[in-house]
Structure 1
Amino acid sequence: MRLPARLRLPLAVYAVCQVVLLLWWAAFYPGAMSYDSVAYVWHVTTGHWMANHSVPYDGLVWLSLKGTGTLATLTFLQVVLWAVALAYAADVLHDLGVRARWAALAAFVAVAIPSLGQFPSFVWKDVPFTISAVVVFAATGRIVARRLAGEAPPARAFWLIGAGFLGLVLFRNNGFLTALVAVPVLVIALRRYWARLLALTLVPIAFSFVLTSLVYPALKIEAAQPSLTYASAYADIAVTYHDRPETFTARDRAVMAEVAPLWFWDQAGTSCYSSDWLTNRPRFDKTVADGRTDELLALWGRTLRRTPDAAIGARVCRGSIAWRIWPGPRELDGHTIVGEGGVTPDRFGWAAPGGRMEGNPYLADLRTRPLLQPERDAMVFVLRASRMEQLEFLLWRAPIWCYAGIAAIALYARRRRSPAALALTAMIVAGQLSVLAANPAQLFRYMPGPMLIGVLAVPLAFAGARRAASRTGPPPAAREPQEEPPAPEPEPEPEPEPAQEPAGATAQGDREP
């Protein structure tokens, strides 16, 4: 049977992307892993459920292990949904007026870049978070395309935006920041639908707050430690103390000294690129810090008021993974930090003698077992070759793709003379700005969403000035006028007989006009 024309592009994109993603999945079977991956398994297999990571993603890990005995089910589902999201996005690009070949090429490039091709096979909460961001972008594009075609947007596009925002807030604890940054862009650009967009954003955010404040405590799920939640604020203090020590009072120094030696605060402040230099080292007493949370936050507030340039500068520096094309100094952890995907024999220390995972029945699943070793060797070679410093800005950092995507969307909106098209920048802008509010280090996993959307948006720069295609037919201005049947020729009227004038009638007054 011949496929309907409108299904050929998304199905072709899905098939090609799925093959590439399955190659990565098979190379790192049952899944690429990181330190966090082991933590998830420890949470759900030992009863130590914690809210320092995504509890819903922990639930998916639990379902995969209990239902099938392996993490491969979860990672397989991730690579399938990733390919589906790319196919949907390519179809939307075509709907926006991009040629099918260029829409497909953008999706193919997105999986050909090693950093993005491997990422869906990770056991990481950031994978469904990224899929959710792409869904919001694509659904927004569908609404814009329908407006440009002079049609009412489909209701399912709005529901997909709501589902995407729900994924953002469920799969990352600070995902509500991304949603809060995105919604003003959407509301301003698509102001005709402002009420629906506000509801579809604020309801998921409110739901996430209900989970963290009411549901998780009721289920005895341990809350995230304040030293983790406010690590960025403490790092701001350290950087400012290193740069402006004279602005700190004796009272400030006393509070700091209770948590860590002052020399350590100064040393940790030498790098503005990572909060781990302060909060993730033994000298920083997390137990004491958690007991002094109010005092430390008050100190952060005083620091921000006294030297806003230093404190805000530290936060902007730490968020440079989102806006700086070239990486910072490697010796200051300014380079892009990525996961290799493999697992050390001691499972990153979790399974060491006396470790929390020693003897865990699921340890065997916490190691990569490639389905084909030659394929694994080839994929690892490609991955490591892509890590060369000269290509880091292109293959592992998001900013250049973010700027390219925003520029392409702006050019598209100008050609279409439609400010509504600027709504397509929402998820890129949200991804770049949200890390300024909360970002511990130069972690690649924070930026696959904006990077991927930037890659997909580039073809919009070449979409031309023609109107977006309509699903129900060409727009009214483009339809050919139908020929009307020729009007019948009027029958000739009979000539009137000459009238007989009555006697005594005048020449004008007694005649009808």
Structure 2
Amino acid sequence: MSTGTTTLGEARPEWAQRQERERRHRRAKSRLRLPFAVAAACQAVLLLWWAAAYPAFTAAPPDGSAPLYAAALRAVHAGPLTLGQTVAVAFGLGYLVAALARFGVRGRHSAPVALALAALPPTGSLVVSLGPAVPCAAAALLLTGAGLRLLARHGEGTARRGGPAQRLDLAALFAAVLLLALTGTRGAGTGLVATLVLVAALPRVRARLALLAALALAVPIALALLGHPADRGGSLHTLRAADLALARHTDPAAPADPALTALAPPEVWAAAGADCSATAALTDRWNATAARRGADQLAAAWRKLLRDHPDRVLDARLCRGRLAWSAWAGGSGPHAATLVPDTAGSSRGLWRPLHAAADWSRTLLRAPQLDWLLWRGALWAYAGLAAALLYAWRHRLPALVPVAGAAVLATQLALTASAADQDYRSMGAALLVGPLLATLATVRTRRAA
């Protein structure tokens, strides 16, 4: 029959179609209301932190490991840069809350968590600090939110349709990988690993994800080719020297290398090997000028160690990467505890009482008994992963686990390979993403689309 080709929408009267369009419009507005409200509330709280810490709560690390971040700092000054960081993190918190809502997490569970993350001293002061860890944490929020929203579209069968919402998610993912790539080698490695996980878990958008990630990771390479004054050596020589120090401590009977004793006396190498949690155990006491001159000899000695005793190199990297995997700080050596940088001397704040209150609250929560809960991100990485596992088991959605954990897992792997100390800011991604992912445990039944 010819009438069999008439669609249901065409058969419905005009007033019914108009009501359906209005319902869809109201539904879209209600979905936007929650993330905008969360982002606005978090921005208001973070502005208080910014006013209390102006121009920045803690100073940028002077090791030259993130030359593009240092260039941005020179270009726009500390105050505007930290203000931009508050905007990025507030948007990322709202965006991730919106992504979790697609999986049934109610705003009354996720919104208070996001607001607490903006208000608590460990995360609030992190956002207004200088250092590449802050854009890395903001990128983790964007990357996790984009991955979850793309996975939700895959489950709804709308991944191939495209549309403005999907283009926004792909743009957020591109911005996240670009932020990571611009923060240095560790950030680029984080972005690469996270993208590989997402590409494997999201087959419907695999080609677009790979292309966008490749473009983002190519940006710092292009800048270097155009003559950006990046530190091409990075911090590799300090990481390699710390590996050699632990190897010498493990095998004290090995003959001393003259190239190494020129950098520091044998007793300094021995002490640094006994305190393997940070490269500073050695670099605080070595001859920096001689280290720069002997970089080639140092690299040759490290390559020999990697060839003959790769287990000792892995031992050293795991010792310094303890921050990424252990909820408790190490018990030996002055550098084994979680590093919480002191307030920068230039941090005065726009209003002195507000600055004093922020500094007091941050100092109060630095009690050693609270270290595992507030300052080390490993606990929250595991809590978020456990909630994702629980949700995946309840709803038969195994792809949720790699998508939800991609950014945090990539951060942990990158720290294992290149951690220089136990600075809590390096696990900022887990401190911000983990608690929000934990709200997945509150979902028992899937909300209707």
Normalising to structure 2: TM-score of the pair? 0.86
Provide the rounded CA distance (Å) in 1 between the counterparts of 2:155 and 2:275.
Answer: 48
Give the equivalent residue in structure 2 for 1:25.
50
* Letter paired with 2:49: W
Provide the rounded CA distance (Å) in 2 between the counterparts of 1:300 and 1:317.
Answer: 17
Give the equivalent residue in structure 2 for 1:254.
258
1:52–1:225 CA contact under 8 A, matched in 2: no
Provide the rounded CA distance (Å) in 1 between the counterparts of 2:117 and 2:48.
Answer: 15
* Letter paired with 2:432: L
2:327–2:376 CA contact under 8 A, matched in 1: yes
- 1:131 paired with 2:138, answer yes
Give the equivalent residue in structure 2 for 1:362.
none
Q: How far did residue 224 of structure 1 move?
A: 4.6
- 1:324 paired with 2:326, answer yes
Q: Name which of 169, 179, 182 aligns with 1:167.
A: 179
Cα 1:74/1:255, change in 2 over 3 Å: closer
**Corresponding residue pairs, total:** 417
Give the equivalent residue in structure 2 for 1:278.
282
Provide the rounded CA distance (Å) in 1 between the counterparts of 2:184 and 2:103.
Answer: 30
1:134–1:453 CA contact under 8 A, matched in 2: yes
1:96 aligned counterpart, secondary structure: coil
* Letter paired with 1:93: L
- 1:100 paired with 2:107, answer yes
Provide the rounded CA distance (Å) in 1 between the counterparts of 2:110 and 2:316.
Answer: 39
List aligned pairs for 1:107-122, cutoff 5 A. Answer: 107-122=114-129
Give the equivalent residue in structure 2 for 1:463.
443
Residue deviations 1:243-296, cap 9 Å, x none? 1123x3x4x623322322222211211111011111232xx2333333333332
Provide the rounded CA distance (Å) in 2 between the counterparts of 1:292 and 1:73.
Answer: 39
- 1:378 paired with 2:357, answer yes
Residue deviations 1:135-184, cap 9 Å, x none? 11111111011122222261321222111101001023421111222123
1:231–1:279 CA contact under 8 A, matched in 2: yes
Provide the rounded CA distance (Å) in 2 between the counterparts of 1:259 and 1:149.
Answer: 60
Q: How far did residue 54 of structure 1 move?
A: 3.1
* Letter paired with 2:37: A
Give the equivalent residue in structure 2 for 1:266.
270
2:60–2:130 CA contact under 8 A, matched in 1: no
Provide the rounded CA distance (Å) in 1 between the counterparts of 2:209 and 2:258.
Answer: 48
Q: How far did residue 318 of structure 1 move?
A: 0.3
Provide the rounded CA distance (Å) in 2 between the counterparts of 1:382 and 1:425.
Answer: 31
Output the aligned Cα RMSD: 2.3
Provide the rounded CA distance (Å) in 2 between the counterparts of 1:196 and 1:294.
Answer: 41
* Letter paired with 1:433: L
1:28–1:368 CA contact under 8 A, matched in 2: yes
Provide the rounded CA distance (Å) in 1 between the counterparts of 2:140 and 2:293.
Answer: 36
* Letter paired with 1:339: P
Give the equivalent residue in structure 1 for 2:423.
443
Q: How far did residue 205 of structure 1 move?
A: 2.1
Provide the rounded CA distance (Å) in 2 between the counterparts of 1:447 and 1:241.
Answer: 29
- 1:199 paired with 2:224, answer no
- 1:415 paired with 2:415, answer no
Give unmatched runs, 5+ long, in structure 1: 40-50, 66-70, 344-366, 471-513
Normalising to structure 1: TM-score of the pair? 0.76
Give the equivalent residue in structure 1 for 2:338.
336
Residue deviations 1:444-484, cap 9 Å, x none? 121101221111100112222425x54xxxxxxxxxxxxxx
Provide the rounded CA distance (Å) in 1 between the counterparts of 2:206 and 2:318.
Answer: 31
Q: How far did residue 401 of structure 1 move?
A: 0.2
Residue deviations 1:35-88, cap 9 Å, x none? 53xx5xxxxxxxxxxx924343334323424xxxxx322222221221111111
2:440 aligned counterpart, secondary structure: helix
2:150–2:169 CA contact under 8 A, matched in 1: yes
Provide the rounded CA distance (Å) in 2 between the counterparts of 1:325 and 1:415.
Answer: 27
List aligned pairs for 1:18-417, cutoff 5 A. Answer: 18-34=43-59, 36=61, 52-65=64-77, 71-152=78-159, 154-212=166-224, 214-215=225-226, 218-219=227-228, 221=229, 223-225=231-233, 228-246=235-253, 248=254, 250=255, 253-281=257-285, 284-329=286-331, 331-343=333-345, 367-417=346-396
1:189–1:419 CA contact under 8 A, matched in 2: no
Q: How far did residue 108 of structure 1 move?
A: 1.8
Give the equivalent residue in structure 1 for 2:4.
none
**Percent identical:** 35
Provide the rounded CA distance (Å) in 1 between the counterparts of 2:214 and 2:236.
Answer: 22
Give the equivalent residue in structure 1 for 2:8.
none
* Letter paired with 1:170: L
Cα 1:56/1:264, change in 2 over 3 Å: closer
Cα 1:31/1:143, change in 2 over 3 Å: same
* Letter paired with 1:324: S
Give unmatched runs, 5+ long, in structure 2: 1-25
Higher helix share: 2
Residue deviations 1:77-100, cap 9 Å, x none? 221221111111111111121112
Provide the rounded CA distance (Å) in 1 between the counterparts of 2:348 and 2:292.
Answer: 40
